[in-house]
């Protein structure tokens, strides 16, 4: 993992392979962002003009390189676009996200270098954390299954030094450490998502989670794994039903963090379909190509709890990872089968490709038995979410408007794009079943909302709950941008950690 440190300079004397500064768009060219003055001075006041000559415009995520020609300890100056300037300050969640993306774009473009220094546009802890986090997330690659000469592949930047415009206080140092923990969690989630299903199946995921808990070495952080025998004995009909078509049986993983001073508790439930063929209701082949990412929710919730533990947040936080492989084997569930879920409710399976909600239902009921103050579930649940909100925006649904607003606020502050969606009462009747308590399918139109309504049926009365459908932003199958690579993104980890922080701070 990339290491992060914070220093105050002097900027011109920072020894690194490259020095990154921010640029704003200006009417007559580019304008240097705050913090770049010392670099400009060392270059004789020519930095903006040089970068403009090389094609820089200051547009968001644009990266322009220029040689330092011996005027700096670093041989290379890199200007990265921040877009149009605001009031002369980086304020608010949107401004911080601009900084994250810019730092990520710059460091991502510098893969192959060992050490990169990034000048923060302002010295405040929030900006330091945003810069450090964006840079660390931009320093990512996944080459675990490549063979041949490793020198042909550019390794991500190994060390990022954040250079502040003033002497970094305890706040800046703490911000750098928090960014390191968050980046480690997101990047570990990305690794899990990118791992092929031949190597990451339910048992392998559980083993990876156990290894991560052990590596964290935090007091109060524990793991419990229910295997298929325990699930069958416990009546987890959703997990057993979805998993029975595969030779690789399901698992339910519980990762719990308890703080001795905690007064609030949160439960995070994650969909962990390690590969989704659609089961008997088989997907088209092209729709399977990214289905190794169907466990992104489970990866997010487990890593969020580990991050909360490493940060020592004063909240009790539990992750429930509902793991199964959805295959069309000879023992697979069929359309019109009826499953008895954990807790006793029966479900008529009308489509075996609506399997995520089945495993999530078991985990939601189990999570509520521990009486958390709130539950958040995270799932790559529906293609309808992508149709409604695109590839970068997740949906938020909830049984509690105040809690939904708190989740949206946490997401905005964390830099993850989410949009509130309703749970219309008139759609509930479309999942009525003539032979069971409920069906796993309803109207196709509004399918994302129907899936949310299904999950709501398994949330205990009186428990605040939010459902995050992350089908679009969980996996980037297009060109990298900002700090987001191609492949698994680790989406929702930061929002969940922010919610845990809010709980610790008494804001939930």
Single out the residue of 507, 466, 503 nearest to residue 259, CA to CA. Answer: 503
Q: Is 420 exposed, middle or buried (0-12, 13-18, 19+ CB in 10 A)?
A: middle
Single out the residue of 185, 329, 181 nearest to residue 249, CA to CA. Answer: 329
In total, the chain counts a number of residues equal to 508
3 state DSSP class of 324: strand
Task: Please enumerate in sequence order all residues whose Cβ is within 8 A of that of 258, keeping only pairs 6 or more positions apart, or say none.
Answer: 220, 316
Task: Please enumerate in sequence order all residues whose Cβ is within 8 A of that of 408, keeping only pairs 6 or more positions apart, or say none.
Answer: 396, 418, 420
Q: Is 341 exposed, middle or buried (0-12, 13-18, 19+ CB in 10 A)?
A: buried
377 vs 397: CA distance, rounded Å: 10
Instruction: Please give the radius of gyration of the chain, using alpha carbons only, rounded to the nearest integer.
Output: 24
Annotated catalytic residue 357: yes
Question: What are the Cα distances from residue 299, in Å, to 32, 90, 212, 319, 462?
Answer: 39, 32, 11, 10, 27
User: Which token pair is 39?
Assistant: 């670099």
Q: Which of 283, 340, 345, 392 is catalytic?
A: 283
Signed CA dihedral, 389, 394, 396, 397: sign only: positive
Find out whether 360 and 271 touch, Cβ atoms under 8 Å. Answer: yes
Find out whether 266 and 372 touch, Cβ atoms under 8 Å. Answer: yes
Annotated catalytic residue 283: yes
Single out the residue of 142, 80, 130, 135 nearest to residue 108, CA to CA. Answer: 135
Q: Which of 108, 264, 357, 413 is catalytic?
A: 357
Q: What residues are labeled active site? A: 283, 357
């Amino acid at each position: 993992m990339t290491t992060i440190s914070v220093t105050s300079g002097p900027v011109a004397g920072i020894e690194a392979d490259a020095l990154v500064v921010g640029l704003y768009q200006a009417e007559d060219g580019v304008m240097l962002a705050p913090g770049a003055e010392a670099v400009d001075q060392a270059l004789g006041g020519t930095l903006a003009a040089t970068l403009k000559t090389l094609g820089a415009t200051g547009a968001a995520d644009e990266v322009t390189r220029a040689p330092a020609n011996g005027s700096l300890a670093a041989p290379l100056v890199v200007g990265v676009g921040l877009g149009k300037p605001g009031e002369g300050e980086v304020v608010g969640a949107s401004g911080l996200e601009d900084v994250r993306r810019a730092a990520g774009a710059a460091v991502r473009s510098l893969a192959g270098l060992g050490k990169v220094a990034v000048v923060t546009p302002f010295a405040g802890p929030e900006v330091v954390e945003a810069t450090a986090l964006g840079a660390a997330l931009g320093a990512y690659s996944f080459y675990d299954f490549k063979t041949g000469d490793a020198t042909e592949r550019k390794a991500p930047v190994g060390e990022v030094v954040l250079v502040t415009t003033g002497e970094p206080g305890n706040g800046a140092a703490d911000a750098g450490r928090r960014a390191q923990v968050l980046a480690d969690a997101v990047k570990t989630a990305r690794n899990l998502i990118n791992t092929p299903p031949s190597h990451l199946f339910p048992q392998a995921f559980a083993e990876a989670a156990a290894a991560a808990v052990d590596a964290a070495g935090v007091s109060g952080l524990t793991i419990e794994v229910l295997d298929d025998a325990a699930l069958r004995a416990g009546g987890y009909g959703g997990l057993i039903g979805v998993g029975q078509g595969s030779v690789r049986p399901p698992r339910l993983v519980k990762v719990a963090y308890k703080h001795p001073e905690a007064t609030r508790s949160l439960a995070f439930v994650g969909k962990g379909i390690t590969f989704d063929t659609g089961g008997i209701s088989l997907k088209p082949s092209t729709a399977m190509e990214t289905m190794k990412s169907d466990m992104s929710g489970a990866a997010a919730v487990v890593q969020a709890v580990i991050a909360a533990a490493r940060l020592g947040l004063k909240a009790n936080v539990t992750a429930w990872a509902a793991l199964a492989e959805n295959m069309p084997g000879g023992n697979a569930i069929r359309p019109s089968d009826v499953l008895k879920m954990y807790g006793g409710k029966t479900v008529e399976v009308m489509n075996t490709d609506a399997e995520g909600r089945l495993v999530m239902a078991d985990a939601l009921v189990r999570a509520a038995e521990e009486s958390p103050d709130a539950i958040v579930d995270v799932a790559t649940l529906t293609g309808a979410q992508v149709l409604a909100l695109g590839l970068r925006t997740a949906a938020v649904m909830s049984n509690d408007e105040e809690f939904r607003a708190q989740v949206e606020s946490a997401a905005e502050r964390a830099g993850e794009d989410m949009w509130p969606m309703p749970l219309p009462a008139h759609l509930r009747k479309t999942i009525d079943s003539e032979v069971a308590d409920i069906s796993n399918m309803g109207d196709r139109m509004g399918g994302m909302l129907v899936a949310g309504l299904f999950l709501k049926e398994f949330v205990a009365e009186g428990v605040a709950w939010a459902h995050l459908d992350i089908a679009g932003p969980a996996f980037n199958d297009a060109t990298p941008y900002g700090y987001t690579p191609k492949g698994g993104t680790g989406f929702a980890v930061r929002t969940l950690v922010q919610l845990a922080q809010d709980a610790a701070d008494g804001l939930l």
